[in-house]
Amino acid sequence: MKDVKPIIKSASFPNAFASDSEKKTQEYGLTIGQAIQYEWFKGEGSNCRFYSQRREFHEKRLYALGKQPISKYKNELAVDGDLSYLNLDWTPVPIIPKFVDIIVNGMSERVFSVKAYAQDAMSQSKKTKYQDMIEGQMIAKPMLETIAENTGANPFSVDPEQLPNTDEELSLYMQLNYKPAIEIAEETAINTVLDENDYQAIRKMVDYDITVIGVGMAKHEFQLGAGVVVSYVDPANVVYSYTEDPNFKDCFYWGEVKTVQVNELKKINPSLTNQDLVEISQYGRSWYNQYQRNDVYQNDMFSDDVCTLLYFNYKTTKTITYKKKLSEDGTVRFIEKDDTFNPPQEMMDDAGFERVSKTIDVWYEGVMVLGTTVILKWEMSKNMVRPKSASQHALSNYVACAPRMYHGVIDSTVGRMMPFADLIQMVHLKLQQVTSKMVPDGIFLDADGINEVDMGTGNAYTPDDALKLYFQTGSVVGRSYTQDGEFNNARVPITQLTASSGMGKAQMLIQSYNHYLDQIRTVTGLNEAVDATTPNPHALVGLQKLAALSSNTATRHILEGGLRIYKGLAEAITYRIADILEYSDFAEEFINQVGKYNASILRDINDLYIYDFGVFIEISPDSEQKAELDNNINIALKQGNIDIEDAIDIKEIKNIKLANQLIKLKRKTKQDRQERLAMQQQAMAAQQGMQQQQMKAQSDMQTMQVELQGKMQLKQAEVAFDIERVRNEADLKLMLMREEFEMNMQLKGLDLESLNQREDKKEEKKSERISQQNTQQSKLINQRKNNLPPLSFESNEDSLDGFDLAEFEPR
């Protein structure tokens, strides 16, 4: 195979003020690709910027897995490079993986959702109209309540109990209750795209990258047949323009380095010949030789048929030019021209037209074979992401965030732990050394002290017998005199030997181990409350929660970095959805895809591209914030300031600030409602008291009337009885008088005149008596009505034609 060398020559970016026609040429794209290549790949071996950064990321990822290289540890312990006297377990201590898992899994527990707010003129107009309607209902509430009471109809457009009373309550009401259907449709569409691309898995990888290497990246693009695609991007394979912005907002080029089989190149550029592919293959092998990347494909039978491609995006400008001509009938015509259209002002004045232009940002896409002068693709990007509020700008397909960046240098949490992890590993190896050199405890045996000891068995007492007796019973049999008969001061023949020379070293190493472990907790902010390896049994729960909250604060930048990437993807999806619905053949399929979650918003999704949205991320509260909110809710429930239904509504709000405001609003609303209810109850009690008094008075009046009627009826009956009796007596007397008259006519004929006088007088008395009875009856009636004292009546005339009526009862 021909020996070639990669072509990496000094290159700079082309003239940014070149014409649009020049920017479209392959040569212009090749110049950009070579400039990116020179910036990132100048140098040999791993000394270039790209592979140096990639090696750094690879090293941090190995530490995060607990599989870092052990060569540095061997160099520290080797004596002149000789390790033959060391028999150690070189396996790294997996300290860092535990802390990485704590951080990343802690991020996964934080749930957040996207909130879309329509900010175009039409949506703002609708919102203003709705707010004006609510304000009108607020002002006219007393009058509307009067209408409802008098007519029975409901003139309110919303529940009068939910109407705000102040401007502050109105603002909260609009935030909590006003949600147009178009915003719901947009949020559903964004969530659908993210769910279809399994963003939860992408999020975990992004959070892991931010924790381990300090930067996370993702990509959004539109693919035919697949729609909007959101994918994870490995930062180790990405190149970008120099930036000091943690969010990479000012990058004017992006690129990805990918290794592909040579036969895949024809899919990118079908015009390539076999000779071109052979030449590219030769450059691909030389690329790996120069940058020492042979280990990647050392076991691949197709290692000679691979090459490294640079997929890059470059941002530049495009001038859109029109010829504006006023016709004779008064109409205006716009004729599109290229950017070279620039006639003299005299010509435009004479012909009656003018030149109109505007400059917009555009992105070009290119694919270049690294180490060659071959560019496989160079064209203006399709379906560029443009915000409607600033359509002259175009967003990149890449979304990235490095929360801890300074002058382009990226710091990470794992990078802070690596020095102490190395020290912990060295302490671990030293501890193995000390442990391996430690010997067990032994004994000292005085042979002279046990020599020729008679055990009574006839056998000689040997040192072996003495050891067995000592280890089994703890007893020792010895001699006080030596073989020469000299006294040995009764020394014990067996003495315990304690080997403790390595204990102090081991204890010191263990203390060093714990010290470096504490240093990792210090530099990362992950204290024992989050680690929970050795929790303090005497620590109060509240203190442990505060310590855990401190750890959450120390790692908050990782959470915020993931949120920035999520927000950037959500905004890009918003703009891409608008393009899909307006221009793409994928529109109907996408509408049906979204509609399976909520069929009621299909009609709104059809008009989604008309609106312009702002995207905000609503993050769920952490455990400490939830506990504080639950405490406020419980206090309000115990004091009776809110109801259980209010507590349920409050807990559904993820925004802590809005939730606390809602607690205050519900509390105030219930107090006002209780005050109105108390006033109503007082009014009802007063009304009931008056009604009871009225009913009692009416009852007393009716009782009096019934009693009076009864007495009147009784009196009338008595009077009628008396009249009837008098009449009967009169009739009887009349009969007797007639008989007497007939009998006395003959006897008293002469007394006729006297008799007539008597009759006249009798009739006069009778009239007086009747008159007196009527008068007495009137007095009785007056007595009963006016409640006068009793009256005494005496009959003045009780005789009737010689009969004395006083003889009869009653008088």
Question: What distances in angstroms separate CA 811 from CA 185, 432, 595, 784, 790, one per listed residue?
Answer: 105, 141, 107, 21, 16
Q: In angstroms, rounded to a whole number, what is the distance separating the alpha carbons of residues 448 and 425?
A: 50
Orientation angle between helical segments 49-65 and 96-109, nearest 10 degrees: 90
| Beta bridge mates, 497 | 442
CA nearest neighbour of 662 among 647, 680, 640, 677 = 647
| Beta bridge mates, 524 | none
Question: What distances in angstroms separate CA 479 from CA 289, 464, 466, 474, 489, one per listed residue?
Answer: 82, 16, 12, 17, 10
pLDDT of res. 655: 65
Structure tokens at 371: 């180490």
Handedness of CA 144, 148, 151, 153 (dihedral sign): positive
Run means of pLDDT, 10 residues per run, the chain, 811 residues: 70 86 91 92 77 91 91 79 76 89 78 72 76 82 82 80 75 73 77 86 92 94 81 94 91 92 86 85 75 51 73 91 77 77 77 80 92 90 77 87 90 91 90 78 73 68 77 75 63 68 80 89 73 48 42 76 89 78 66 60 54 62 67 78 76 70 74 79 84 84 85 84 83 80 71 73 83 81 77 55 52 49
pLDDT of res. 304: 64
Residues 401 and 247: beta-carbon distance below 8 Å: yes
Question: What distances in angstroms separate CA 84 from CA 90, 426, 778, one per listed residue?
Answer: 14, 18, 147
**pTM of the complete model:** 0.70
Q: Are strands 332-337 and 306-326 parallel, antiparallel or unpaired?
A: antiparallel
Q: In angstroms, rounded to a whole number, what is the distance separating the alpha carbons of residues 67 and 322?
A: 62
Q: What is the CA radius of gyration of the chain?
A: 56
Instruction: Label residues 612-631 b or e (16+ Cβ within 10 Å = b).
Output: bbebeeebebbeeeeeebee
pLDDT of res. 392: 78
Q: In angstroms, rounded to a whole number, what is the distance separating the alpha carbons of residues 811 and 808?
A: 7
Q: In angstroms, rounded to a whole number, what is the distance separating the alpha carbons of residues 185 and 605?
A: 6
Q: In angstroms, rounded to a whole number, what is the distance separating the alpha carbons of residues 246 and 400?
A: 8
State in Å, rounded, how far the first CA of the chain is from the last one: 163
Backbone angles phi, psi at 643, to 5 degrees: -100, 170
Reduced DSSP (H G I as helix, E B as strand, rest coil) percent helix, strand, coil of the chain, to 5: 55, 15, 30
Contacts of 69 (CB under 8 A, 6+ apart): 59, 62
Other beta carbons within 10 angstroms of residue 548's beta carbon come to 21
Residues 376 and 269: beta-carbon distance below 8 Å: yes
Other beta carbons within 10 angstroms of residue 368's beta carbon come to 25
pLDDT of res. 398: 94
Domain ranges in the chain are: 48-116+171-227+408-436+504-616, 441-498, 759-811
Contacts of 803 (CB under 8 A, 6+ apart): 733
pLDDT of res. 246: 92
CA nearest neighbour of 404 among 558, 219, 241 = 558
Handedness of CA 745, 747, 750, 755 (dihedral sign): negative
Concatenated DSSP letters for 571-602? HHHHHHHHHHHHH-TTHHHHHHHHHTT-GGGH
Structure tokens at 359: 């400059």
